[in-house]
Amino acid sequence: MPTNIPNQLTWFRILLIPVFIAVFYVSDETLSLHHKHLLGTFVFWLASITDWLDGYLARALNQSSAFGAFLDPVADKLMVIAALIILLQLGHVDAIIAFIIIGRELTISALREWMAQLGNSKSVAVSLLGKIKTVFQMLAILFLLYQEPLFGIPTRQVGTLLVYLAAVLTLWSMVYYLMLARRQILEKSRSQN
On whether both 103 and 24 belong to a single domain, the answer is no
On whether both 73 and 166 belong to a single domain, the answer is no
Percentage of the chain exceeding pLDDT 70: 93
On whether both 138 and 81 belong to a single domain, the answer is no
DSSP state of 153: B
On whether both 64 and 148 belong to a single domain, the answer is no
- Reported as a pLDDT band with limits 50, 70 and 90, residue 18 is very high
On whether both 77 and 147 belong to a single domain, the answer is no
On whether both 125 and 192 belong to a single domain, the answer is yes
pLDDT of amino acid 40: 96
CATH classification of the domain holding 42:
1.20.120.1760
Domain boundary among 42, 68, 91: 91
Domain of 192 in residue numbering reads as: 93-193
On whether both 98 and 86 belong to a single domain, the answer is no
pLDDT of amino acid 69: 77
On whether both 100 and 174 belong to a single domain, the answer is yes
pLDDT of amino acid 167: 95
Number of domains in the chain: 2
Give the torsion sign (CA, 129, 16, 22, 146).
negative
On whether both 13 and 70 belong to a single domain, the answer is yes
| Cα separation, 50 vs 37, whole angstroms | 20
On whether both 168 and 190 belong to a single domain, the answer is yes
Instruction: Look at 154 and 66; give whichever has higher pLDDT.
Output: 154
Q: Which stretches of the chain are DSSP H helices?
A: 5-23, 33-60, 66-90, 95-117, 128-146, 155-180, 182-192
Separation in Å, CA 133 to CA 65, 109, 130: 25, 15, 5
- The predicted-structure confidence for 120-161, as pLDDT tens digits, reads as follows 666 666 778 888 988 999 999 999 999 888 888 899 999 999
Domain boundary among 28, 63, 91: 91
Give the torsion sign (CA, 5, 65, 124, 95).
negative
Residue 62 has pLDDT above 90, yes or no: no
- The predicted-structure confidence for 79-122, as pLDDT tens digits, reads as follows 999 999 999 999 999 999 999 999 998 988 888 787 777 776 66
Top mean-pLDDT range of 13-17, 61-65, 72-76: 13-17
On whether both 64 and 139 belong to a single domain, the answer is no
pLDDT of amino acid 25: 93
On whether both 100 and 47 belong to a single domain, the answer is no
